[in-house]
Structure 1
Amino acid sequence: MLRTGAQYRDSLKDGRQVWINGERVKDVTTHAAFKPIVDIRARIYDMAHEAKHKETMSYRDAATGQENCIGYKLPHTQEDWHAKRRSIDAVMREIKGYAVRVGDETVGEMWSLYDGRDILNEVDPQFSKNITHHIQHVLDSDTFHVSANTDPKGDRSKRPQDQDPDMLLHLVKETDKGIIVRGAKYETAAAYANQAFVKPTIANWGDDKLSDYALGFICDMGSPGLKHICRTGFTGRASADDYPLSNRCDEVDTLLVFDDVLIPWENVLFYRHTRAAAFIRGTLHRYSAYPFTLRLLYIADLMLGAAAFNAKQTGLDAQQAVREKLALLMQYRESINAHLTAAIAMAQPSPGGLLMPNQSLLYTGRYAAINQLPAMMHLARELCGGQICVTPDKATFEHPEIKEWMQKYYSVNEFWQAEDRRKLLAFARDLLNSDRAGHMVTFELFAQSPPFAHLNSIYMNFDMSNALSYVKDCAGLSDRVMDQWKKK
């Protein structure tokens, strides 16, 4: 099925417990902190029903005959990935900004578990059936699916069981209906999503085969006992005319508190089995890293476009020094594009029979995009100049007693009059200098795992055999040295 925006809004009115700024939220669809981003998600749903976007946003399933969301389609061909990229492009242009958590980027984590069905079968064949069921359920219901990973963790010098055990989500007890869990997770967009794939962050289980912390399950965001405690939002702090991105595209982050929440057995994807937990941690971003990295391409475009407009309006783009800085932003943008394009051009079959982006190219591209982001933002600030931090707000531009001075000093030529220049500077300020801009850098740095985990993904997925074989032959080494590497 394809949901409508109205159906999505109705699905959020389930009695969920949400708090923000010290208040209990009665309705996330109308609350000032959530309404703009809920409207964006509703708009994405509605796009799939419109003639202009329908072909880009949806496909007809050959088996069921029903129309489904293209972002949730299991990838079997390169065209499947190209179609996903076209839909993301349509969304980003429609919302006139960028949003990271809109559903398509986290459903891929379940595809990784789909690839590990043999491991799930070792625990209980029912869990393998559950993941297959839930992948189909996302398609059938067009639900807004997110992912809960990070725990509060507490004192990391101690084991979870040597401190308050609730610092990491854990099993409390089993019942005939399912498992009872307690603890907490951080998750972006949880307060206005329908369900989350919840899994552990522990990477090293040692020799333990079973652990009460090795849990993976689907949780309904309106479940009894689940509390959403949200960070203060950026929406409404200042005028939308002066901070357009903060007021339009703020994705609210949530501390999810599981206060003895029942997870039905049909929603349990793995349970106490550390091998399954280790598998999903090692392959979590096998698919989802693609849309996450693609989001960074749009951030690069926004920085490049804002900087280029600012240089062009005053004629600075004719100077070699300015062109060199713009070229660095272009290089950053195109390096992301190249890795994404190559990852699909050299896509690999997955263990579960899907087509996954080339893992080495995808992970190296992701790391380069995230690692260079702060430097590229600073470069864009240089090109935009000091006026993004000194320009007054819109109310000042419109005040009758000083309006003529604002028009005089902010109009550049016949192409750039004061109002367009004010809008550009306000947009660039929000993109590069605002509280939201700083939040975005930190979010991108850790939202997909911290940098050391990115580098480990590169190490684990890079095929060293070609370089080693080349050096072996050039240096005249014996075959024994290659045998040692293969045993590693």
Structure 2
Amino acid sequence: MIRTGDEYRASISTGRKIWIDGETVDDVTTHPMFRPIVDIRARIYDLAHEESTRDVMSYVDPETDERNSVANKLPFTQQDWIDKRAAIDVVLDEARGVVTRVGDETIGEMWSLYDGQDVLNEVDPRFAENIRNHVHKAVVSDPFHISANTDPKGDRSKRPQDQDPDMLLHVVAETDAGIVVRGAKYETAAPYATQAFTKPTIANWGDDQLSDYAVGFVLDLNNPALKFICRTGFAGRKPADDYPLSNRLDEVEALVIFDDALIPWEDVLFYRHTRAATYIRGTLHRYSALPYVHRSIRYADLMIGAALANVRQTGLDKNPAVQEKLAVLACYREGIDAHLTASIAKAEPSPGGLLMPNPSLLYAGRVWAQTQLPQMMHIARELCGGQICITPDSATFAMPEAQPWLEKFYTLNDEWHSDDRRRLLAFARDLLNSDYAGHRVTFQLFAQAPPYSHYQAVYRNFDYDGPLDLVREAAGLSERVGAKAGQA
């Protein structure tokens, strides 16, 4: 059943080997670079218990009469997807910003493999049974589930076998207890999550039908053979008054080292099966893309709100040119929402009996959200003006010598006093101009796949027969020409 925040904290306070910013982390729940995001994840657990949000964040299983998380519920109906979007909004309201890797997005990757049980059965029926068991376990045990995709890779002009083999995660031994793996993965949130769906990144297997690199499993992140080497976090580096988003919402990535880690057989989902590896890479985001892209709506709302507040405080909201730019931001936001809403309205049954959002609409929405983001951020910068890059910090505003002058020049009217204006400009700077803002743009580009893969997903899922038939009829082409074109 659903966890509490304290139960979650206890589950990750297990002496993991974590290094960040040149130091060893004694307790991931209290370290200043981790504590803010751990507190948000714990808060998500508690929201499922509180009366005001319980029915949005959780549901009662009619068979067990237990409460489970809406995020981990298998989607069988359109209402299930509507409920998941509502739960995401509650989380983002509570976070007062955008958090991405909190489990509701990454759990969907497991459902893609659930759809591929027939593929798993080709190599070993145990693997299909394992995915069914883990999907059920995720529903009832409420883990903080993340994704492990990207390896260090090394020299990508060479096969992994032709260089240091550890550049890609691979199996080095089989035992009665399970497989032993060695290598590394980059994983967002790994130091403070419960488990990770670990899978290969290789896209072209060539003629290698049986490969030690074609392995996928559910990883217990308390495995003693793991080491977590983290990038420097944003939280705690600069004053919270000046960087309100960086200090609250940073989701820390880690290079997770697998130092001959034993993976029990019951956690192995496929092994030495390149078709399964290819299948999961091709279908990985058919569910997870929706909650991921849904967050882009909230990022758009933050940009619109910051820009609108800024132009209203200076009276520029009456200017037609300013209104046009605000409308561009609004169209960006509504375009994302329209794609996601339509993908649910035109959802399709999956091979495993689930209901998946319409892939063509979903992936097209992801492309719209990601390709337009840098341009939308630039428009928001224009509307916020140059003061987001030249305004002094909060400590200077508090100096007795500087305070009167800053109050004079930053106070606009009875509504906008200097302190509120400073806070708005600091928020906009952190949202649009800070190193955290740059990190968010890069994360959005690559968090689910490289940009070219986004277009490949659209290409593979768009129905080309309609346009081809239309042109065949309009141009008077023969049936044969149309059929050949459609097959191509």
Q: Deviations over 1:199-218 (max 9, x none)?
A: 00011112222111000000
d(CA) in 2 for partners of 1:449, 1:12: 28
Q: Deviations over 1:422-442 (max 9, x none)?
A: 110000000000010000000
Contact 1:17/1:222 (<8 A) preserved: no
Aligned runs of 1:185-334 on 2, under 5 Å? 185-334=185-334
CA RMSD after TM alignment: 0.8
Q: Deviations over 1:428-471 (max 9, x none)?
A: 00000001000000010011101110000000000101101111
Q: Deviations over 1:346-387 (max 9, x none)?
A: 111111110000100000000110001011111110100000
Equivalent residue number for residue 378 of structure 1 = 378
Report the residue type matching 1:222 in the other structure: N
Contact 2:468/2:486 (<8 A) preserved: no
Measured after TM superposition, the shift of residue 123 of structure 1 is 1.1
d(CA) in 1 for partners of 2:182, 2:480: 51
Aligned runs of 1:144-183 on 2, under 5 Å? 144-183=144-183
Equivalent residue number for residue 63 of structure 1 = 63
Equivalent residue number for residue 78 of structure 1 = 78
d(CA) in 2 for partners of 1:107, 1:347: 19
SS of equivalent residue, structure 2 residue 2: coil
Equivalent residue number for residue 479 of structure 1 = 479
Q: Deviations over 1:47-90 (max 9, x none)?
A: 11101100110001122221000010000001000000000101
SS of equivalent residue, structure 1 residue 212: coil
Equivalent residue number for residue 51 of structure 2 = 51
Report the residue type matching 1:111 in the other structure: W
Measured after TM superposition, the shift of residue 487 of structure 1 is 4.0
Contact 1:160/1:168 (<8 A) preserved: yes
SS of equivalent residue, structure 1 residue 180: strand
Q: Deviations over 1:115-145 (max 9, x none)?
A: 0011111111111110111111111111100
d(CA) in 1 for partners of 2:486, 2:226: 47
1:392 aligns with 2:392: yes
Structure 1's consecutive aligned runs of 4 or more residues displaced over 6 angstroms after TM superposition are none
Contact 2:464/2:486 (<8 A) preserved: no
d(CA) in 1 for partners of 2:350, 2:203: 22
d(CA) in 2 for partners of 1:290, 1:487: 30
SS of equivalent residue, structure 2 residue 179: strand
SS of equivalent residue, structure 1 residue 259: strand
Measured after TM superposition, the shift of residue 184 of structure 1 is 0.7
Equivalent residue number for residue 96 of structure 1 = 96
Report the residue type matching 1:417 in the other structure: H
Q: Deviations over 1:213-256 (max 9, x none)?
A: 00000011110211110000111111000000000000001101
Report the residue type matching 2:291 in the other structure: P
Report the residue type matching 2:182 in the other structure: R
1:465 aligns with 2:465: yes
Measured after TM superposition, the shift of residue 298 of structure 1 is 0.7
SS of equivalent residue, structure 1 residue 218: strand
Equivalent residue number for residue 140 of structure 1 = 140
Report the residue type matching 2:125 in the other structure: P
Equivalent residue number for residue 34 of structure 2 = 34
d(CA) in 2 for partners of 1:143, 1:95: 20
Contact 2:200/2:214 (<8 A) preserved: yes
Report the residue type matching 2:119 in the other structure: I
Report the residue type matching 2:319 in the other structure: Q
SS of equivalent residue, structure 1 residue 353: coil
1:359 aligns with 2:359: yes
d(CA) in 2 for partners of 1:459, 1:99: 29
Report the residue type matching 1:144 in the other structure: F
Q: Deviations over 1:174-211 (max 9, x none)?
A: 00000000011101000000100000001111222211
Equivalent residue number for residue 4 of structure 1 = 4
d(CA) in 1 for partners of 2:17, 2:133: 27
d(CA) in 2 for partners of 1:244, 1:156: 39
How does the TM-score come out when normalised to structure 2? 0.99
- How many residue pairs get aligned? The number is 488
How does the TM-score come out when normalised to structure 1? 0.99
d(CA) in 1 for partners of 2:393, 2:439: 22
d(CA) in 1 for partners of 2:115, 2:66: 25
d(CA) in 1 for partners of 2:226, 2:486: 47
Report the residue type matching 1:49 in the other structure: H
Measured after TM superposition, the shift of residue 478 of structure 1 is 1.4
Q: Deviations over 1:368-425 (max 9, x none)?
A: 1000101111111010000000111111112222212111111111111111111100
Aligned runs of 1:395-414 on 2, under 5 Å? 395-414=395-414
SS of equivalent residue, structure 1 residue 161: helix
Equivalent residue number for residue 450 of structure 1 = 450
SS of equivalent residue, structure 1 residue 229: strand
d(CA) in 1 for partners of 2:465, 2:350: 20
SS of equivalent residue, structure 1 residue 480: helix
Structure 1 unmatched ranges of 5 or more: none
SS of equivalent residue, structure 2 residue 214: strand
d(CA) in 2 for partners of 1:352, 1:84: 20
1:17 aligns with 2:17: yes
Contact 1:119/1:275 (<8 A) preserved: yes
1:108 aligns with 2:111: no
d(CA) in 2 for partners of 1:136, 1:351: 18
Measured after TM superposition, the shift of residue 486 of structure 1 is 4.7
SS of equivalent residue, structure 2 residue 187: strand
